[in-house]
Structure 1
Amino acid sequence: MMNNLSIIVIIVSAHLLTLTTVQAQSASAFQPGKEWPDNHGIHINAHGGGVLWHNGNYYWFGEHKVAGEKGNRAYVGVHCYTSKDLHHWVDSGIVLAVDGAQNSPIAPGAIIERPKVIYNKKNKQFIMWFHLELKDQGYKAALCGVATSKKITGPYVFHHAERPDKGTLPISYKPDTNKGDSILLRDKEKGQMSRDMNLFVDEDNSAYLIYTSEENRTVHISQLSDDYLSTRGRFARVFPDRFMEAAAIFKANGKYFFVASGCTGWAPNAARSAVATHIFGPWQELGNPCEGPDSALTFHGQSTFVLPVMGTKNTFIFMADKWNPKNAIDGRYLWLPVVFKANKFKVMWSESWELEDQAKQKSINNE
């Protein structure tokens, strides 16, 4: 017969075993909206970011925020973290620092948003693009910033700032008799406005800049030059007058998929999705891809990137930011599974999930 002490030991041991199991599970689980510590135990500081896989590692680049509303401008630069499993991230430091010279386009107090990095195999060079607004000019400049490095973790050297597609008009352009193209024509000679932006590299290594243009009215998709350092003047004007931002493109089963948000400032709104057989379109809108509580508000977040998981087929992670404009450094990350259903994709809410869960769901859907 067990005495009371034996019973207590058994209960405590069972509790510790359960706690250890839960901790082991959470170590490999994504927990959207929760604090996400790096290898130093500090919440990851890589907002509006994107991830590049290279030589067996993932590299997460994003905006380094500081505390308070001040953090919505750039006072440090672009931060990078490194991981092999997408869960545990090592701080790789500031890879593009703001420039102390007050006349620099990336002077402290400028706006540096949504940095993305791609690799040019031909030149063996890493190219960073980001949305750039000049210090004390609000969102008037509407520029793309470009920086380069021979090493993925930098340091990146600022190369230039530009408005894309200067002096050109979209492919298959037809004048709009209702004057919906007036801003496009206004900006033709100086280049098109570029605010929220993203990058996509296709299977043939052609690279594309996706950017919100025309005072946020329309999205442009522009092919980059062979060195990825500029646009080449070949671009499509898509979703005219739909007011979309935070766009990202990914590819699965030979089709291009698009996700974006509406334009409501820092406030969340319903995500939007679309599909095409060619990156320049035509694009077919598919509606809000989110499913679950608060799906009409994209789970209180905004898209920033869709991450392909290496070594898998059609496994993607939807990356979004849960902004905190009053205290920018405390912005959280919403990483959620992408599930394909027929010719659509869905972003499924879960408080805690693992990549293995996504694989099971794909099996259920016979993917």
Structure 2
Amino acid sequence: MKYYRFLLPAFLLLSIIGRAQTKLSSFSPGAIWPDDKGVHINAHGGGILYNNGVYYWFGEHKIAGDAGNRAMVGVHCYSSKDLYNWKDEGISLSVSPDTTNDIAKGCILERPKVVYNKKTKKYVMWFHLELLGKGYSAARAGVAISDKVTGPYKFIKSYRPNPGQMPFYPALTPEADKVNCVNPANKSDGFFCRDLPGGQMARDMTVFVDDDGKAYHVFSSEENFTLDLAELTPDYTGHNGKFIRIYIGHQTEAPALFKRNGIYYMIGSGCTGWAPNAARWFSAKSIWGPWTYHGNPCQGPDSQITYGGQSTHVLPVAGKKDAFIFIADKWTPKDAIDGRYLWLPINFKGNDIEINWTDNWNLDVFKK
């Protein structure tokens, strides 16, 4: 009898371990997504870097309880070779115990994105930063660097981009379309001119590296009424002063930028706090525009709320043609650690894009 009593708990333990270690072979948008330890992945508002055959997922580390959107730990990193199964690589950027530090524990640190600089051989992380106890008034961009992709990353600085700089305008841009700080034409222009001396506000953001190695920082600015697309310095750790304004006067958050067949695409969202809204997409033949607004790429039931999520990144799948994954977060502000991830394939119809909901899918939907 004692022998059987021992066998039963052992069998149950092995069963639990077996489930935790089951390899995934598909995506289930909105479901709990366990890492290699069986714990739901904790990388919200994140982005993914493909480096030497491995994908690295960086995102906001949330905690249980009433911390809400405050950064109490830092940026979490995971790695994967197949995009389905992720290994916990730990905290790549830690917040500081020093309350005077820009990234002090309890600050707001959102949407981290990491890119690799081939010239400096450094990994560069950008993120939206709000200073401790200041709400959302700071509206800064923060940057950190590392010699190793998983970190630890060293925080360098935070600031508002391009102080004293006027936007770049392509040739033949009408004077009426240029910002005039003597007589601002609209509310968004007014915010731009207000912030001109100290630099433009930088909230929801992404970073994109083009085929020529130049990197660009895209961020919500002017009280979120306009997107800025700004070129970074050659080492990717600062701005060089050249930038444009996109979709002026229309509140846009959550930018995600990618490129296909020489055309630049960007997906974003409206501004409705933590509540989901309709996604929006833009395209341009030049990174400097003009950028054309195309409406909502999502189709079918719940498309007007982006299936309950909000864009954060578009991932090109290595080794596959026209393979891009739309990555969104399903926010749960009352229990931030339970936030879910919506990964869906992007469908191309000519140069147009379309996103459809599917309960379960795998990379076989893309051509090799």
Relative to the length of structure 1, the TM-score reads: 0.90
- Determine helix, strand or coil for the equivalent of 2:365: helix
Shift of 1:229: 0.3
Which amino acid is the alignment partner of residue 204 of structure 2? D
Is contact 1:68-1:325 (8 Å) kept?
Answer: no
Per the alignment, residue 150 of structure 2 pairs with 153
Is contact 1:249-1:259 (8 Å) kept?
Answer: yes
In structure 2, distance between residues paired with 1:82 and 1:310:
15
Per the alignment, residue 16 of structure 1 pairs with none
Shift of 1:115: 0.2
Where does 1:93-108 land on structure 2 (aligned, <5 Å)?
93-108=90-105
- Determine helix, strand or coil for the equivalent of 2:144: strand
In structure 2, distance between residues paired with 1:226 and 1:27:
39
Shift of 1:114: 0.1
- Determine helix, strand or coil for the equivalent of 1:70: coil
In structure 2, distance between residues paired with 1:274 and 1:228:
24
Per the alignment, residue 74 of structure 1 pairs with 71
Which of 162, 167, 175 is matched with 2:179 structurally? Answer: 175
- Determine helix, strand or coil for the equivalent of 2:67: helix
- Determine helix, strand or coil for the equivalent of 1:251: strand
In structure 1, distance between residues paired with 2:330 and 2:100:
32
Shift of 1:357: 2.0
Rate the CA distance shift 1:69–1:294 in 2: closer, same or farther, 3 A: farther
Is contact 2:320-2:367 (8 Å) kept?
Answer: no
Corresponding position: 1:289 with 2:286: no
Shift of 1:279: 1.1
Which amino acid is the alignment partner of residue 197 of structure 2? E
In structure 2, distance between residues paired with 1:119 and 1:252:
20
- Determine helix, strand or coil for the equivalent of 1:297: helix
Per the alignment, residue 163 of structure 1 pairs with 160
Per the alignment, residue 336 of structure 2 pairs with 328
Q: Which runs of 5+ in 1 are unaligned?
A: 1-22, 361-367
Is contact 1:336-1:350 (8 Å) kept?
Answer: yes
Relative to the length of structure 2, the TM-score reads: 0.89
Corresponding position: 1:265 with 2:269: no
Shift of 1:317: 0.3
| Larger mean Cα displacement after TM superposition, 66-75 or 83-92 | 66-75
Rate the CA distance shift 1:354–1:77 in 2: closer, same or farther, 3 A: same
Which of 247, 251, 258 is matched with 2:255 structurally? Answer: 247
Per the alignment, residue 136 of structure 1 pairs with 133
Is contact 2:58-2:112 (8 Å) kept?
Answer: yes
In structure 2, distance between residues paired with 1:175 and 1:254:
29
- Determine helix, strand or coil for the equivalent of 2:71: coil
Which amino acid is the alignment partner of residue 344 of structure 2? L
Shift of 1:67: 1.2
Q: Sequence identity of aligned pairs in percent?
A: 55
Which amino acid is the alignment partner of residue 179 of structure 2? P
- Determine helix, strand or coil for the equivalent of 2:116: strand
Is contact 1:51-1:61 (8 Å) kept?
Answer: yes
Q: Compute the RMSD of aligned alpha carbons.
A: 1.4
Per the alignment, residue 57 of structure 1 pairs with 54
In structure 2, distance between residues paired with 1:257 and 1:357:
21
- Determine helix, strand or coil for the equivalent of 1:257: strand
In structure 1, distance between residues paired with 2:297 and 2:220:
20
Q: Deviations over 1:308-356 (max 9, x none)?
A: 0011122000000000000000000000000101221111210001110
Is contact 2:321-2:366 (8 Å) kept?
Answer: no
Corresponding position: 1:234 with 2:231: no
Shift of 1:140: 0.3
- Determine helix, strand or coil for the equivalent of 2:28: coil
Which of 87, 92, 114 is matched with 1:90 structurally? Answer: 87
| Larger mean Cα displacement after TM superposition, 165-174 or 186-195 | 165-174
Q: Which runs of 5+ in 2 are unaligned?
A: 1-20, 170-176
Per the alignment, residue 13 of structure 2 pairs with none
Is contact 1:132-1:142 (8 Å) kept?
Answer: yes
Which amino acid is the alignment partner of residue 63 of structure 1? E
Which amino acid is the alignment partner of residue 144 of structure 2? A
Shift of 1:197: 0.6
Per the alignment, residue 342 of structure 1 pairs with 350
Per the alignment, residue 308 of structure 1 pairs with 316
Per the alignment, residue 325 of structure 2 pairs with 317
In structure 1, distance between residues paired with 2:263 and 2:226:
22
Shift of 1:179: 3.8
Which amino acid is the alignment partner of residue 33 of structure 2? W
In structure 1, distance between residues paired with 2:24 and 2:329:
21
Is contact 1:339-1:358 (8 Å) kept?
Answer: no
Shift of 1:233: 0.4
| Larger mean Cα displacement after TM superposition, 270-279 or 63-72 | 63-72
In structure 2, distance between residues paired with 1:272 and 1:114:
18
Q: Deviations over 1:97-153 (max 9, x none)?
A: 010111011111100000000000000000000000001100000001100000001
| Larger mean Cα displacement after TM superposition, 172-181 or 194-203 | 172-181
In structure 2, distance between residues paired with 1:189 and 1:43:
44
In structure 2, distance between residues paired with 1:348 and 1:231:
36
